[in-house]
Amino acid sequence: EIFTCKQKGCGKIFTNQDEFKTHEALEELKIRF
């Protein structure tokens, strides 16, 4: 299964759901702060 980051200006593709979730969480933190 492929997971694509939907954050603006990203679009990175992950095949590992854990890595994807970690990445999305980090991107959300970047946006907030």
Please give the angle made by the CA atoms of 11, 18 and 10, to the nearest 5 degrees. 10
17 pLDDT above the threshold of 90: yes
pLDDT value of residue 30: 84
The mean per-residue pLDDT over the stretch 18-32 comes to 91
| Alpha helices, H only, 1-33 | 17-32
pLDDT value of residue 3: 97
22 pLDDT above the threshold of 80: yes
- H or E element, residue 14: strand 13-14
